[in-house]
Structure 1
Amino acid sequence: MNPDLNKLQPYPFEKLAELKAAVSPASDKSHIALSIGEPKHLPPQFVIETLKDNLHKLANYPATKGVPELRQAISQWLERRFKLKPESLDPERHVLPVIGTREALFAFVQAIIDRQQKAPLVMCPNPFYQIYEGAALLAGAEPHFLNCQAENSYIPDFEQVAAEQWERCQLLFICTPGNPTGSVMSSEQLQKLIKLADQYDFIIASDECYSELYFDEENPPPGLLQACAEMGRHDYKRCVVFHSLSKRSNLPGLRSGFVAGDAEVMAQFLRYRTYHGCAMALPNQIASITAWNDEEHVLLNRKAYQEKFSAVLEILDGKLDVKKPDAGFYLWPNVQGCDKDFAQRLFAEQHITVLPGQFLARDSQGVNPGSGHIRMALVAPLDECIVAAKRIVDFVSK
């Protein structure tokens, strides 16, 4: 067996299940799950109908590169959404559809890391999506964690990274809007990273899966390709972005997303994926085209989340140390104590499941930046979110 498998830590939800198993929940209260970031809003009906109308295409092998119409729809969406130069993205060279970004994030690291280089580093935010860490370890690289804490608005302090660490860096993961903090990096911050990538010759992989869940319709979160365009960098050199229909369109089960950016990197990633055998089924591709071409359902989705955030934050105001995030669908409260104890007691007394923050982070520079926080995913229906908020107020008041 690959010995690096022994370096992988249990997934956060395995740790959570063990934590919950040690107690019994209140039997007089219905369970409310705020732990898993799985959208619960209804998928767009027109996407489902398109999927049903094309099921006969399951008789055909799909191409790894996807159908041209899907790559074209993705390119046009990126240009509209991130104000890119018209036709600056070549669907043939800059875009690849993927079976959800989870598998793509993992596969990308395997394709990128040069094991012949001494002690390669994969840098990522801390807390983080655990795929970054596992992918780095199985690619023969060392994960290097950059703490995201309140004093830096939950954005990594890249100024504290030493030159020798940048020199070892082959890949930098960023997540904007962040999971779990919801913090958004500015275009100026992204441009500084692009300059660092040029200076030290590494690739930036920007996980932007929460980019369409925001609160100000006039100021959507910027993206890495947008920062490139603002620099006049229309080849997107050393920059790659990951997007998905899971959160944007409430289609986590469709397993549909894309990777886009630097054409040279994408060509090599396509070569890897051809051997990897990750081709999206044709009915899913055709359904995805309809989703990327429509914004009305995305706007309605945002409004539903905005309503939940407004209601929940009004109830929690003054009772829990929590602020509205920049974007995303998570709250990241400071519980002023042990997050594991808080989550376990909340489950036992109020039958609410939240995720301890320390399960999403690693000890780095003497601290675990997730400790003392919990992650609350406002994915349940509005009425359940309101009930949960009221129960949490009752819990903390005791």
Structure 2
Amino acid sequence: MITRHFVDRQKLQEFHPFTRLRDLLGATPPGKSPLKDGAPINLSIGEPQSQPPAFVAEEITKAAADWSRYPLSKGTPDYLEACTSWMEKRYNLPKGMVDPSKHLLGVPGTREGLFMTALTVLPNPKQGEDAPVFLTPNPCYHVYTGAAAAAGAEVVTVNATRESGYLPDYTQVPEEILQRTALCVLCSPSNPEGAVADPQKVRDLIALARKYDFVVAFDECYAEIYTGSPPHSAIETASDLGGDLSNILIFHSLSKRSSAAGLRCGFIAGDDKWISMINTTCQVGGAGVPIPVQNAGTRLWQDEDHVIENRARYQENFRLAQEILGNSVPVEIPAGGFCLWLDVGNGVEVTSKLWQEAGIRVMPGAYMSHMDETGVTPGDRYIRLALVYDAEYMAIALKRIKEILSQFIPTLGAHGEKGDTA
């Protein structure tokens, strides 16, 4: 389903998922947590709980004298070279396809990069013309819609459901909308579902973008957390198409890959025209990545051992989830990312129940989704669980979740099987 929205930038809190979650749970004290100390368990946010390698602190200390300096707007040569070398190895790119001086921009995480990209790419409508269109999946990461609102664009959401493989099919968007589209986002592995786009889907979207001359932001921040084969990247498709990066921007971050969410360090790769223009936007209204942080980021992009350890940790958590929850609720192990997208019938009700009875905080799928004209969202039936703690901690949380789901899900029958509200 395709739905059109205008979001008031002064009312961003109305769809910000964590604001809505605080409003839902804030007045209710948490129930008894299964932890020995009784502390609430927060599985609502995709914040890795393992630590980055110790050398991060070492590298920042070595560059401490640079805290007094403004960072170069695009990034230090060493940082940009490390990002380029990582992409060449990870995606088997031909040497020279990505020129770090033209095709790369260091940014403080994908969130900031995506926001600045929207401000740059989405044009102001001329008098009498319709607003530009920003195409986004539904459900989606809230920054997409927030960025579109800040830029004054019309948001057109394309549902990502089980039937569509939890990814949007932008080839089904009507031509009159495609003609007004300026920016489109494809998140792979997707947030919240963890679905991975196959090479043909990426190729079809790039062809669509070049036909209608819009930019595709490929959000690949979860690309290094996967359970089977490494996810395909848009940069690989660009390489297969002869190395042309026009209409393509690819976003990567150290937040998930390296458990370094607080470092605020990532990069954008792609179309040199837009890289240059986004850099200018960042120079005007953004903060560059501090030099000591880039120093640490350089070494993180050069090291794979800690990434392999992280993947193994998340794979163990998914194994536990399948083992513990499998008989209570269907568990679909995602191809990428570290979140479970669980169909529980009524996500908001189950979220409240988990908090009230066990002090476990999860994210209702409805809060990551946009309503259609009937008031329904593709996330209504779901909750998102971020499996970001160590296995022992996760086992305790998952066993308690199973107990509550076993009691609660049958009571949803008043709405249909498993509380069907969709």
Bin of the TM-score, shorter chain as denominator length: over 0.9
**Alpha-carbon contact 2:193-2:341 (below 8 Å) kept:** yes
Question: 1:211-222 counterparts in 2 under 5 A?
Answer: 211-216=223-228, 219-222=229-232
Q: Which residue of 1 aligns with 2:151?
A: 139
Give the whole-Å Cα distance in 2 for the aligned partners of 1:245 and 1:277: 19
What SS is found at the alignment partner of 1:185? coil
Moved more, 107-116 or 25-34: 25-34
CA apart distance, 1:83: 1.9
Moved more, 240-249 or 114-123: 114-123
1:226 to 236, 249, 254: 236
CA apart distance, 1:279: 1.3
Question: 1:342-353 counterparts in 2 under 5 A?
Answer: 342-353=350-361
Asked if 1:359 corresponds to 2:367, the answer is yes
Asked if 1:6 corresponds to 2:14, the answer is no
**Alpha-carbon contact 2:73-2:288 (below 8 Å) kept:** yes
Specify the code of the residue in structure 2 equivalent to 1:303.
A
* Per-residue Cα deviation, 1:138-196 (whole angstroms, up to 9, x for no partner): 11111110101111111112232101111111000110000000000011100000110
Segments of structure 2 that go 5 or more residues without pairing to the other structure are 1-6, 408-422
What SS is found at the alignment partner of 1:246? helix
CA apart distance, 1:27: 3.4
Specify the code of the residue in structure 1 equivalent to 2:370.
R
Aligned residues: 392
Q: 1:53 to 1:122 in 2, by over 3 A?
A: same
Specify the code of the residue in structure 2 equivalent to 1:23.
T
**Alpha-carbon contact 1:72-1:91 (below 8 Å) kept:** yes
Q: Which residue of 1 aligns with 2:24?
A: 19
**Alpha-carbon contact 2:134-2:183 (below 8 Å) kept:** yes
What SS is found at the alignment partner of 2:66? helix
Alignment TM-score, normalising by the size of structure 1: 0.95
Question: 1:119-268 counterparts in 2 under 5 A?
Answer: 119-216=131-228, 219-232=229-242, 234-268=243-277
**Alpha-carbon contact 1:145-1:364 (below 8 Å) kept:** no
Give the whole-Å Cα distance in 2 for the aligned partners of 1:45 and 1:298: 14
Moved more, 29-38 or 373-382: 29-38
What SS is found at the alignment partner of 2:342? coil
Give the whole-Å Cα distance in 1 for the aligned partners of 2:360 and 2:401: 8
Specify the code of the residue in structure 2 equivalent to 1:355.
M
Q: Which residue of 2 aligns with 1:272?
A: 281
Q: 1:347 to 1:96 in 2, by over 3 A?
A: same
CA apart distance, 1:365: 6.1
CA apart distance, 1:25: 2.3
Segments of structure 1 that go 5 or more residues without pairing to the other structure are none
Asked if 1:93 corresponds to 2:98, the answer is no
Give the whole-Å Cα distance in 2 for the aligned partners of 1:27 and 1:397: 18
Q: Which residue of 2 aligns with 1:75?
A: 84
Give the whole-Å Cα distance in 2 for the aligned partners of 1:124 and 1:115: 19
Give the whole-Å Cα distance in 1 for the aligned partners of 2:56 and 2:262: 12
Q: Which residue of 2 aligns with 1:47?
A: 56
**Alpha-carbon contact 2:32-2:357 (below 8 Å) kept:** no
**Alpha-carbon contact 2:82-2:298 (below 8 Å) kept:** yes
What SS is found at the alignment partner of 1:184? coil
Give the whole-Å Cα distance in 2 for the aligned partners of 1:55 and 1:286: 10
What SS is found at the alignment partner of 1:309? helix
What SS is found at the alignment partner of 1:241? strand
**Alpha-carbon contact 1:64-1:277 (below 8 Å) kept:** no
Q: Which residue of 2 aligns with 1:329?
A: 338
What SS is found at the alignment partner of 2:329? coil
CA apart distance, 1:344: 0.3
Give the whole-Å Cα distance in 1 for the aligned partners of 2:268 and 2:241: 21
**Alpha-carbon contact 1:147-1:364 (below 8 Å) kept:** no
Identity %: 39
Specify the code of the residue in structure 1 equivalent to 2:30.
P
Give the whole-Å Cα distance in 2 for the aligned partners of 1:275 and 1:289: 25
* Per-residue Cα deviation, 1:47-79 (whole angstroms, up to 9, x for no partner): 221112211211222111111111111111111
Moved more, 81-90 or 358-367: 358-367
Give the whole-Å Cα distance in 2 for the aligned partners of 1:52 and 1:321: 47
What SS is found at the alignment partner of 1:333? strand
Give the whole-Å Cα distance in 1 for the aligned partners of 2:351 and 2:11: 26
Give the whole-Å Cα distance in 2 for the aligned partners of 1:107 and 1:277: 8
What SS is found at the alignment partner of 2:394? helix
**Alpha-carbon contact 2:44-2:386 (below 8 Å) kept:** yes
CA apart distance, 1:26: 2.2
- Runs of 4+ in structure 1 over 4 Å off: none
Specify the code of the residue in structure 2 equivalent to 1:364.
D
Specify the code of the residue in structure 2 equivalent to 1:138.
A
Alignment TM-score, normalising by the size of structure 2: 0.90
Asked if 1:285 corresponds to 2:290, the answer is no
Give the whole-Å Cα distance in 2 for the aligned partners of 1:33 and 1:185: 29
Q: 1:28 to 1:311 in 2, by over 3 A?
A: closer
CA apart distance, 1:393: 1.4
